[in-house]
Structure 1
Amino acid sequence: MDNIKPVRIRFLDTNKFSEVLVPSKVKKGDFIVIESEKGQELVLVMGNCVYTDDTKNYKFVRVATKEDIATFDKHEEEAEEFLNICKEEAEKLGLEMNLLKSYIPLNRTKALFYYTAENRVDFRELVKILAKRVKMRIEMRQVGVRDGVQIAGAVGVCGQQCCCNLFLDKFENITVEILAEQNLPPTPTKFTGVCGRLMCCLTFERETYSIKNDLPEIESVLDIEGKPLTVKLYDFIGEKIILSDEEGNLQELSFEELERLNLLKPKSCGSCNGCSNN
């Protein structure tokens, strides 16, 4: 038996990522068939990865054949028809749900329907109708609005494809506090993504702003070379602060110079908010 290794995979129905153990011959860009809770699935290999507990969740079946890929394509066309049927029946029943995608695994264990909804949806009657029309076992899966954009895809305000649809494997908890951390105006609507939540990219540079906890506070007065200077502004991109003297003249001081002059806040030992040891 071939040696095995963990690889990162991407699911073709949800665009989410995971890991699975595969034979060493499998390489980036290959399509493989795995066994999941949905049935046998065609997934894309993104590359090698480090072994984690998630790696044990799925079973490698085989490297995908031309027949597997043809079956997947055929099921995608069929699933699109199922989705239209589902939308039609949901509308007749007056169900308030946003249907995103239908998906059929390779071995046709079930037909899955992904949807978003603001409230709980009683879809029992819908499932009965669908089962009769498509003659398959039906599974309805409610997902969050961010998962919905990840599945359906969209273009963000930056003009690029949304990050969740391209490469994000998990969603961070993003709150309005992150705007203040990055000196952004406290207007969440300006930083709202297609999904209606704060944009995921707000977390990408968060570590850059972590030094804010060590910087002297705005409007605090520093004694530099015998002159009192007031902190007016942080410039995280330029890695400096802007200070003003008593006459209102501005000058800059880099984070490096602040550290050299011992003007950063004392590091906390964990039992208080910071102290100075003599």
Structure 2
Amino acid sequence: MGCSSCSTGKDGQPRGCKNNGTCGTDGCNKLTVFDWLANISLPLGHEIFDCVEVRFKNSRKEFFRNNEKLTLSIGDIVATESSPGHDVGIVTLTGELVKVQMKKKKVDWTNPDLPKVYRKASQKDIDIWSTARNREEEIKKRSRELAIALGLEMKISDVEFQGDGSKATFYYTAEDRVDFRQLIKDMAKAFSIRIEMRQIGFRQEAARLGGIGSCGRELCCSTWLTDFRSVNTAAARYQQLSLNPQKLAGQCGKLKCCLNYELDAYLDALQEFPKPETKLYTEKGKASCQKIDIFKGLLWYTYDDDSINWHKLTVEQVSEIVQLNSKKQKVASLEEYASVLVEEDTKNQFENVVGQDSLTRFDKPIAKRKPKKRRNKNFNRNKKDAK
């Protein structure tokens, strides 16, 4: 969703507001919240909820108490309490929906120690804040060089300056514990600011940096996903996906979060299927399951002594055979059920007269027409004269 500042340039390309995640209208940011109670007036005698939600760089959001009863709306830049000094952020939500968000994030709104909103940011505060943010890329590059020089096995992924420019938070990822005491000394000496190191996971790193997934859309973790549930390879097995790490891994290097989206639907569908380890006993021998098609409701079985020939059966047919086996009865063979299935499939076939469904219809070269022979007009005239 674009904001009103993201208009089109002269060359037809999107110009963008160029605020790098600090858009004033809060229309093209990560994890934006729609205030559907904005146009509804409060009942008589009901005061506005005194807490607001403020967003800082990327997806970091915190709640602050509005003790000064400032008239705040979404998109206002405010100076908030921090330790030490103050920070600058953008108001993303006000009113009763803030209470819902605080309840969801398990934040106690009755806590008297909740940080406060000092004031609306002045032009001086905004200038200091913008100057500090413009230094982030340069400092991030320099801090990575210092970490490499010390031989530390860590990756500094992002730098976030405090609104007053007195402190910078360095977000890093690492496999093991890292001793960065010497790194902090070198960075404090080089940048002359207070340093805070904060370790984040690989999923949180991808959420902060953003990007485009293999589906062609923006990463879920950087747009709307707020809780990172654990993903394991069992989700891929239930969905009959090949266990290829290159296809199942996202930009964070972990399994894709979207593997959990349709997992419940697959689990519900698999309840109608017999378990894959279920054996079918026939007079020709014992058969084992080799493949399952959840969408079509089909299963493929092979005899243990003949693993080359696969027999396609429906869920109802397999359930019927299992029920007979439970009564210690054996069917003649799987070929009987497979032949019935083939006869049913032939009834649903149709003849493609036009050929519009053929994928190779354009591969055949078009035969060139032979040009018609034109008779010589002079020859015809001479023929008439001879007559």
User: Normalized against structure 2, the TM-score is what?
Assistant: 0.53
Q: Deviations over 1:142-184 (max 9, x none)?
A: 2111111112222211122211111221211000011122232
- Whether 1:134 aligns to 2:191 is yes
**Residues 155 and 36 of structure 1: is their aligned pair in 2 closer, same or farther, counting only changes over 3 Å?**
farther
Q: Aligned residue pairs: how many?
A: 239
**Residues 170 and 109 of structure 1: is their aligned pair in 2 closer, same or farther, counting only changes over 3 Å?**
farther
- Whether 1:216 aligns to 2:264 is no
- Whether 1:98 aligns to 2:152 is no
Q: Which one of the candidate residues 48, 53, 64 is aligned to 1:3?
A: 48
Q: Which residue of 2 aligns with 1:260?
A: none
Q: Which one of the candidate residues 338, 341, 346 is aligned to 1:249?
A: 341
Q: Which residue of 2 aligns with 1:185?
A: 242
Q: Which is greater in Rg?
A: 2
Q: Which one of the candidate residues 75, 87, 96 is aligned to 2:144?
A: 87
**Residues 152 and 202 of structure 1: is their aligned pair in 2 closer, same or farther, counting only changes over 3 Å?**
same
Judge conservation of contact 2:88–2:121 (CA < 8 Å) in 1: no
Q: Deviations over 1:69-116 (max 9, x none)?
A: 433322111222322221221122122221111111113452111111
Q: Which residue of 2 aligns with 1:12?
A: 57
Unmatched tracts of structure 1, length 5 or more: 222-229, 253-278
Q: Which residue of 1 aligns with 2:81?
A: 35
Judge conservation of contact 2:129–2:164 (CA < 8 Å) in 1: no
- Structure 1 residue ranges, 4+ long, deviating more than 6 angstroms after superposition: none
Q: Which one of the candidate residues 156, 159, 164 is aligned to 2:216?
A: 159
Judge conservation of contact 1:42–1:68 (CA < 8 Å) in 2: no
Q: Distance in 1 between matches of 2:265 and 2:81?
A: 41
Judge conservation of contact 1:218–1:233 (CA < 8 Å) in 2: no
Q: Distance in 1 between matches of 2:261 and 2:81?
A: 33
Q: Distance in 2 between matches of 1:211 and 1:234?
A: 11
Q: Distance in 1 between matches of 2:265 and 2:76?
A: 36
More relative contact order, 1 or 2 (CA 8 Å, 6+ apart) = 1
Structure 1 residue 212: Cα displacement: 3.3
Q: Deviations over 1:207-236 (max 9, x none)?
A: 323413532325779xxxxxxxx995322x
**Residues 194 and 84 of structure 1: is their aligned pair in 2 closer, same or farther, counting only changes over 3 Å?**
same
Richer in strand (by share): 1
Q: Percent identity?
A: 30
SS at match of 1:172: coil
Q: Distance in 1 between matches of 2:82 and 2:47?
A: 22
Q: Distance in 2 between matches of 1:125 and 1:190?
A: 39
Q: Distance in 2 between matches of 1:248 and 1:34?
A: 74
Structure 1 residue 28: Cα displacement: 4.1
Structure 1 residue 7: Cα displacement: 5.7
Q: Distance in 2 between matches of 1:209 and 1:203?
A: 10
